[in-house]
Structure 1
Amino acid sequence: MIFKAVRDSAPYPDHGVTRQRDWSTIAPRQIRLDQLTTTRSTLDLRNLLDDDSTFFGDLFAHVVSYRGELYLETGLHRALRAALQGRTFIHARVLELGDSGVALLAPLPPETGGNSPRNRRN
Protein backbone atom coordinates (compact mmCIF):
# COMPACT_ATOMS: atom_id res chain seq x y z
CA MET A 1 0.00 0.00 0.00
CA ILE A 2 1.33 3.43 -0.93
CA PHE A 3 -0.86 5.60 1.33
CA LYS A 4 -2.48 5.03 4.70
CA ALA A 5 -5.88 5.76 3.15
CA VAL A 6 -7.53 7.47 0.18
CA ARG A 7 -10.40 9.91 0.64
CA ASP A 8 -12.52 11.99 -1.73
CA SER A 9 -12.48 15.09 0.46
CA ALA A 10 -10.77 16.71 3.41
CA PRO A 11 -12.17 15.77 6.86
CA TYR A 12 -10.87 18.96 8.46
CA PRO A 13 -12.41 22.45 8.36
CA ASP A 14 -11.14 25.10 5.95
CA HIS A 15 -7.92 26.46 7.44
CA GLY A 16 -7.69 29.55 5.22
CA VAL A 17 -4.02 29.08 4.29
CA THR A 18 -4.31 29.21 0.52
CA ARG A 19 -1.53 31.43 -0.82
CA GLN A 20 1.83 29.99 -1.81
CA ARG A 21 3.50 32.77 0.17
CA ASP A 22 1.77 31.61 3.36
CA TRP A 23 2.70 27.96 2.81
CA SER A 24 6.30 28.91 2.03
CA THR A 25 6.82 30.13 5.60
CA ILE A 26 6.40 26.53 6.83
CA ALA A 27 9.67 24.60 6.71
CA PRO A 28 9.44 21.33 4.75
CA ARG A 29 10.11 18.01 6.43
CA GLN A 30 10.15 14.37 5.42
CA ILE A 31 6.84 12.49 5.64
CA ARG A 32 6.42 8.76 5.05
CA LEU A 33 3.93 7.99 2.29
CA ASP A 34 2.30 5.26 4.37
CA GLN A 35 1.40 7.86 7.04
CA LEU A 36 -0.53 10.02 4.56
CA THR A 37 -4.23 10.01 3.81
CA THR A 38 -4.99 11.63 0.48
CA THR A 39 -7.84 14.14 0.22
CA ARG A 40 -8.32 13.32 -3.48
CA SER A 41 -8.96 9.94 -5.01
CA THR A 42 -8.14 10.97 -8.57
CA LEU A 43 -5.37 12.90 -10.27
CA ASP A 44 -6.91 15.51 -12.58
CA LEU A 45 -4.60 16.99 -15.21
CA ARG A 46 -6.47 20.33 -15.06
CA ASN A 47 -5.57 20.60 -11.37
CA LEU A 48 -2.06 19.34 -11.98
CA LEU A 49 -1.37 22.02 -14.58
CA ASP A 50 -3.23 24.85 -12.82
CA ASP A 51 -1.12 27.94 -12.09
CA ASP A 52 -1.83 27.56 -8.34
CA SER A 53 -0.84 23.89 -8.19
CA THR A 54 2.36 22.73 -6.53
CA PHE A 55 3.58 21.75 -10.01
CA PHE A 56 4.27 25.41 -10.82
CA GLY A 57 4.34 27.02 -7.38
CA ASP A 58 5.82 25.11 -4.48
CA LEU A 59 8.44 22.39 -4.77
CA PHE A 60 6.93 20.65 -1.75
CA ALA A 61 3.62 18.93 -1.13
CA HIS A 62 1.17 20.49 1.33
CA VAL A 63 0.04 18.32 4.24
CA VAL A 64 -2.45 19.15 6.98
CA SER A 65 -2.01 17.58 10.41
CA TYR A 66 -5.41 17.31 12.10
CA ARG A 67 -6.36 15.23 15.14
CA GLY A 68 -3.29 13.03 14.89
CA GLU A 69 -3.63 12.27 11.17
CA LEU A 70 -1.67 13.57 8.19
CA TYR A 71 -3.70 14.58 5.11
CA LEU A 72 -2.10 15.20 1.73
CA GLU A 73 -3.85 18.35 0.56
CA THR A 74 -1.79 19.11 -2.55
CA GLY A 75 1.06 17.28 -4.20
CA LEU A 76 -0.61 13.98 -5.07
CA HIS A 77 1.41 13.92 -8.31
CA ARG A 78 4.65 14.32 -6.31
CA ALA A 79 3.69 11.54 -3.90
CA LEU A 80 2.80 9.16 -6.73
CA ARG A 81 6.03 9.96 -8.56
CA ALA A 82 7.99 9.21 -5.37
CA ALA A 83 6.20 5.88 -4.96
CA LEU A 84 6.85 4.92 -8.59
CA GLN A 85 10.54 5.68 -8.06
CA GLY A 86 10.58 3.34 -5.05
CA ARG A 87 10.87 6.09 -2.45
CA THR A 88 8.90 5.74 0.80
CA PHE A 89 8.80 9.42 1.76
CA ILE A 90 8.30 12.91 0.33
CA HIS A 91 9.27 16.35 1.51
CA ALA A 92 6.21 18.34 2.52
CA ARG A 93 5.16 21.48 4.35
CA VAL A 94 2.94 20.44 7.26
CA LEU A 95 0.26 22.82 8.56
CA GLU A 96 -0.76 21.90 12.11
CA LEU A 97 -4.45 22.39 12.94
CA GLY A 98 -5.86 22.36 16.46
CA ASP A 99 -8.93 20.26 17.29
CA SER A 100 -11.12 23.27 16.51
CA GLY A 101 -9.62 23.52 13.02
CA VAL A 102 -7.66 26.69 13.73
CA ALA A 103 -4.14 26.75 12.30
CA LEU A 104 -1.50 26.65 15.03
CA LEU A 105 1.23 29.23 14.47
CA ALA A 106 0.07 29.61 10.88
CA PRO A 107 1.28 32.56 8.86
CA LEU A 108 -1.09 35.50 9.05
CA PRO A 109 -2.42 37.22 5.97
CA PRO A 110 -1.06 40.79 5.86
CA GLU A 111 -4.60 42.22 6.12
CA THR A 112 -5.31 40.81 9.59
CA GLY A 113 -2.31 41.95 11.61
CA GLY A 114 -0.75 40.16 14.57
CA ASN A 115 -3.67 39.98 17.02
CA SER A 116 -5.75 37.45 15.12
CA PRO A 117 -6.79 34.29 16.97
CA ARG A 118 -5.38 32.27 14.05
CA ASN A 119 -1.90 32.90 15.40
CA ARG A 120 -2.59 31.68 18.93
CA ARG A 121 -2.37 28.10 20.18
CA ASN A 122 -5.62 26.35 21.17
Structure 2
Amino acid sequence: MIFKAVGDRRPYPDHGLDSPRDWAHLAPRMIRLDELVTTKSTLDLETLLTTDSTFFGDIFAHVVGWQGTLYLEDGLHRALRAALQQRPVLHARLLVLD
Protein backbone atom coordinates (compact mmCIF):
# COMPACT_ATOMS: atom_id res chain seq x y z
CA MET A 1 0.00 0.00 0.00
CA ILE A 2 1.32 3.46 -0.91
CA PHE A 3 -0.79 5.62 1.42
CA LYS A 4 -2.39 5.07 4.80
CA ALA A 5 -5.77 5.78 3.16
CA VAL A 6 -7.30 7.47 0.12
CA GLY A 7 -9.79 10.23 0.85
CA ASP A 8 -11.72 12.58 -1.39
CA ARG A 9 -12.13 15.68 0.79
CA ARG A 10 -10.45 17.82 3.42
CA PRO A 11 -11.89 16.77 6.80
CA TYR A 12 -10.01 19.46 8.73
CA PRO A 13 -11.09 23.10 9.17
CA ASP A 14 -9.96 25.82 6.77
CA HIS A 15 -6.46 26.96 7.69
CA GLY A 16 -6.23 30.08 5.52
CA LEU A 17 -3.04 29.08 3.66
CA ASP A 18 -4.14 29.42 0.05
CA SER A 19 -0.97 30.05 -1.96
CA PRO A 20 2.55 28.61 -2.06
CA ARG A 21 3.76 31.90 -0.57
CA ASP A 22 1.51 31.32 2.48
CA TRP A 23 3.13 27.90 3.01
CA ALA A 24 6.70 29.17 2.53
CA HIS A 25 7.28 29.91 6.23
CA LEU A 26 7.01 26.18 7.03
CA ALA A 27 10.32 24.36 6.63
CA PRO A 28 10.14 21.18 4.52
CA ARG A 29 10.62 17.85 6.24
CA MET A 30 10.60 14.19 5.27
CA ILE A 31 7.25 12.44 5.64
CA ARG A 32 6.57 8.77 5.02
CA LEU A 33 4.05 8.04 2.27
CA ASP A 34 2.42 5.28 4.31
CA GLU A 35 1.49 7.84 7.01
CA LEU A 36 -0.49 10.04 4.61
CA VAL A 37 -4.21 10.18 3.86
CA THR A 38 -4.95 11.82 0.52
CA THR A 39 -7.58 14.54 0.14
CA LYS A 40 -8.08 13.74 -3.55
CA SER A 41 -9.14 10.38 -4.91
CA THR A 42 -8.35 11.14 -8.56
CA LEU A 43 -5.22 12.29 -10.35
CA ASP A 44 -4.65 13.94 -13.71
CA LEU A 45 -2.22 11.61 -15.48
CA GLU A 46 -0.82 14.51 -17.50
CA THR A 47 0.15 16.27 -14.25
CA LEU A 48 1.88 13.12 -13.02
CA LEU A 49 3.94 12.69 -16.18
CA THR A 50 4.93 16.29 -16.87
CA THR A 51 8.53 17.22 -16.09
CA ASP A 52 7.74 20.82 -15.04
CA SER A 53 4.70 20.21 -12.83
CA THR A 54 6.05 22.44 -10.04
CA PHE A 55 7.13 25.31 -12.29
CA PHE A 56 4.42 27.69 -11.04
CA GLY A 57 3.94 26.25 -7.55
CA ASP A 58 5.77 25.05 -4.50
CA ILE A 59 8.35 22.33 -5.08
CA PHE A 60 7.27 20.70 -1.82
CA ALA A 61 4.02 18.90 -1.06
CA HIS A 62 1.64 20.40 1.51
CA VAL A 63 0.54 18.23 4.43
CA VAL A 64 -1.93 19.12 7.17
CA GLY A 65 -1.77 17.35 10.54
CA TRP A 66 -5.15 17.21 12.23
CA GLN A 67 -6.39 15.01 15.08
CA GLY A 68 -3.35 12.74 14.82
CA THR A 69 -3.65 12.14 11.06
CA LEU A 70 -1.50 13.55 8.26
CA TYR A 71 -3.49 14.69 5.21
CA LEU A 72 -1.82 15.25 1.85
CA GLU A 73 -3.50 18.47 0.74
CA ASP A 74 -1.34 19.31 -2.27
CA GLY A 75 1.28 17.24 -4.06
CA LEU A 76 -0.46 13.98 -4.90
CA HIS A 77 1.48 13.78 -8.16
CA ARG A 78 4.77 14.29 -6.26
CA ALA A 79 3.87 11.55 -3.81
CA LEU A 80 2.96 9.10 -6.57
CA ARG A 81 6.12 9.95 -8.47
CA ALA A 82 8.12 9.16 -5.30
CA ALA A 83 6.28 5.84 -4.93
CA LEU A 84 6.95 4.93 -8.57
CA GLN A 85 10.64 5.61 -7.93
CA GLN A 86 10.41 3.30 -4.88
CA ARG A 87 11.07 6.12 -2.41
CA PRO A 88 9.04 5.66 0.81
CA VAL A 89 9.22 9.36 1.78
CA LEU A 90 8.73 12.78 0.26
CA HIS A 91 9.71 16.29 1.27
CA ALA A 92 6.67 18.27 2.42
CA ARG A 93 5.71 21.34 4.36
CA LEU A 94 3.72 20.31 7.44
CA LEU A 95 1.05 22.47 9.04
CA VAL A 96 -0.24 21.07 12.34
CA LEU A 97 -3.75 22.22 13.31
CA ASP A 98 -4.18 20.22 16.50
State TM-score, norm by structure 1. Answer: 0.71
How many Å apart are 1:14 and its aligned residue? 1.1
Q: Match for 1:21: what amino acid?
A: R
* 2:36 is aligned with 1:36: yes
Identity %: 66
Whose radius of gyration is greater, 1 or 2?
1
Gap runs ≥5 in structure 1: 49-53, 99-122
User: What is the alpha-carbon distance in structure 1 between the residues aligned to residue 7 and residue 26 of structure 2?
Assistant: 24
Task: Report the secondary structure of 2:73's partner residue.
Answer: strand
Greater share of strand: 2
Q: Match for 1:33: what amino acid?
A: L
Gap runs ≥5 in structure 2: 48-52
CA RMSD across the alignment: 1.7
State TM-score, norm by structure 2. Answer: 0.88
1:4-43 to structure 2, matched below 5 A, reads 4-43=4-43
1:23-102 to structure 2, matched below 5 A, reads 23-44=23-44, 48=47, 55=54, 56-98=56-98
TM superposition outliers: structure 1 runs of 4+ over 3 Å: none
